[in-house]
Amino acid sequence: MKTLQTNRRGFLAGATATLALIAAAPSLAAGRTLNILSHRVHQTSLGEGEADLMAAWKQANDADLAFTTFDSNPLMDRLFREASLPETEFGVGYLVDNRPTSEIAKLFEPLDPWMEKDAIADFGDIAPGLIKGMTIDGKLIGIPVRTATQALFCNLDLLEQAGFSAPPTTLEELVAQAQKITDDKIATGMILASDLAVFPVMFARAFGGDFLTPDFTLLPDPAAMEQALTVLAGMFENGALPRSYATTKNDDQVTWMQQGRAAFTVLPFARAAQLNDPEQSKYPGRITAVGFPVAEALAGKTPMATVVEAWAMVIPANAKDKELAWSYIKQVASPETTLGMALNGNGPARVSTFSDPKLVEKNPLAAIEAEALANGRGAFPPFPEAARAQALFLEEVQLAVLGRKSPAEAVETITQRVTPLLP
pLDDT digit string, tens, across residues 355-375: 999 999 988 899 999 889 878
289 and 160 share one domain: yes
In a shared domain, residues 257 and 346: no
Residue 11 resides in a domain = no
Same domain for 403 and 327? no
- Whether residue 43 sits in one domain with residue 186: no
8 in a domain, yes or no?
Answer: no
Instruction: Please state, as a whole number, how many other Cβ atoms lie within 10 Å of the Cβ of residue 168.
Output: 20
Kindly give the parts of the chain with pLDDT less than 70: 1-29
Q: Are residues 286 and 415 in the same domain?
A: yes
Residue 362's pLDDT is what? Answer: 87
Tell me whether residue 2 is in a domain.
no
Instruction: Please report, for the domain that includes residue 88, its CATH number.
Output: 3.40.190.10
Q: What is the pLDDT of residue 85?
A: 98
* 322/387 same-domain check: no
| Dist. CA 304–CA 44, nearest whole Å | 31
Q: Are residues 156 and 281 in the same domain?
A: yes
**CA distances from residue 203 to 31, 218, 226, 388 in whole angstroms, order as listed:** 52, 16, 10, 21
Distances (CA, A) of 128 to 15, 124, 136, 369, 377: 62, 7, 14, 16, 11
Per-residue confidence (pLDDT) for residue 29, from 0 to 100: 65
Residues 206 and 291 in one domain: yes
User: Is the same domain home to 384 and 240?
Assistant: yes
In a domain, 6, yes or no: no
Give yes or no: residues 231 and 263 share one domain. yes
Q: What is the model's pTM?
A: 0.78
- 3-class SS of residue 35: strand
**Residue 350: which domain range?**
32-148+308-374
Instruction: Based on the fold, state whether residues 139 and 154 are members of the same structural domain.
Output: no
Number of domains in the chain: 2
Give the single-character DSSP code of 212.
Answer: B
Give a yes or no: residue 276 inside a domain: yes
Q: How far is CA 29 from CA 35, 131, 233, in A?
A: 15, 36, 59
298 and 359 inside one domain: no
